[in-house]
Amino acid sequence: MGNIVEVIKTMAQLLKYANENGVIEVVTRGKNGRIQKMSKLLLENATKNDVAKQQVANKLMGALSNANPLMSGLNLAGTAANTAIGLKSLQMLGVITKLSKFNLILSGVNLCATCAGFAIMFKKLDRMSTKINEVLSAVKTSHKIYVDYEFKKVLSEHSNMLDCRRLQKPYSEKEMRELVDAECNVLDMLIEAFSENSTGDEETLIFSIYSLASMLAASIMYFDEIYYFNNKEIITDGKTWHTSHSAWMEVLNKITSDEFVARIQDHGMFELDLSTEENDYFYKGLHNQILDLITEIEDNQTLLTVFDDEINYKNYFEILNQDIKETVAKAIEDSDVSTDDQEISKAVNDAFEKLAIA
């Protein structure tokens, strides 16, 4: 890097410093040369800020679909058109509130990415682990799988991984990859069991599949982060990601297949006796959850390569989290809800903690 200072006179000159997402990062350094502050500038009409925008939107929706009824009453869906549809969606969710697991699944990935959030999922999943292990045993026997993948072990290890991240204790690339492999294999077997209709308890199976998909997505993103920054200097063949990455994504894609979605539609129609309108919200909500997970993994990979530096990558999330907190605070203010109220303040802080933006 040279010491030439360029005087900017036109937008075109400025634009050449924008990255592929249309973001110009401005760094302020202290006297010792270390980064003190990083600002990002999004250029007007820059179409490639969609990644950042979608990240904010996803996190916001995660906060809103939290089971807290106060939070679910707020609608930050954005435009007026979306607000009307969003309100109807919330009403429809109210119709299906007997499906508390459905609401829990919708906030899945955000709950599986932090200790505080995962604690909620863990309790429910742990209670189901005996039933799920029976299903896994049946699949293993019928497919002659001899490796011991136990659901409870996977839950426990995911919890351990999150705890290590929270306390900033070492969790190696190898351990992370083994966790992703284990979650992937268990998920694959559960999908197989559900597709073959070989178990009587469909609701448990559906909940465990979507929960595990959320866990897997969180794990893949954390693995990608570790893998990229450990290996980017030595990757020379353009194959940036681990060779198993496409196989892991393939398992998630199975949940979006026509055959799988048809099984979910049937469950809503015949087991839950939903109306066609309710069933649309049910199966599309679950389907969109997986599509969002896949998009989030891909967006995360984009962010990793865009920033290309661990400090900048982490700083980006700090800035993002601050954006989210400010947006939620404004939404609360616009809804005439007072955060002086202890209960409201606690609900907001709990939601932020679950989203790891506290």
Residues that bind another protein (CB under 8 A): 82, 85, 89, 261-262, 265-266, 269-270, 275-277, 280-281, 283-285, 287-288, 291
- Compare residues 236 and 276 and give the one whose CB is closer to another protein: 276
> What minimum distance in Å lies between the beta carbon of 15 and another protein?
33
Strands 23-29 and 35-42: antiparallel
> What minimum distance in Å lies between the beta carbon of 114 and another protein?
25
- Compare residues 22 and 108 and give the one whose CB is closer to another protein: 108
d(CA 291, CA 126): 26
∠211-148-119 over CA atoms, to 5°?
30
- Compare residues 283 and 316 and give the one whose CB is closer to another protein: 283
> What minimum distance in Å lies between the beta carbon of 205 and another protein?
19
Task: Name the H helices within the chain.
Answer: 11-15, 50-64, 69-73, 80-95, 100-106, 108-111, 115-142, 151-167, 173-195, 202-231, 245-254, 258-266, 276-307, 310-334, 342-354
- Compare residues 155 and 255 and give the one whose CB is closer to another protein: 255
∠113-278-91 over CA atoms, to 5°?
70
Other Cβ atoms less than 10 A from the Cβ of 76: the count is 20
> What minimum distance in Å lies between the beta carbon of 121 and another protein?
23
> What minimum distance in Å lies between the beta carbon of 299 and another protein?
17
- Compare residues 145 and 269 and give the one whose CB is closer to another protein: 269
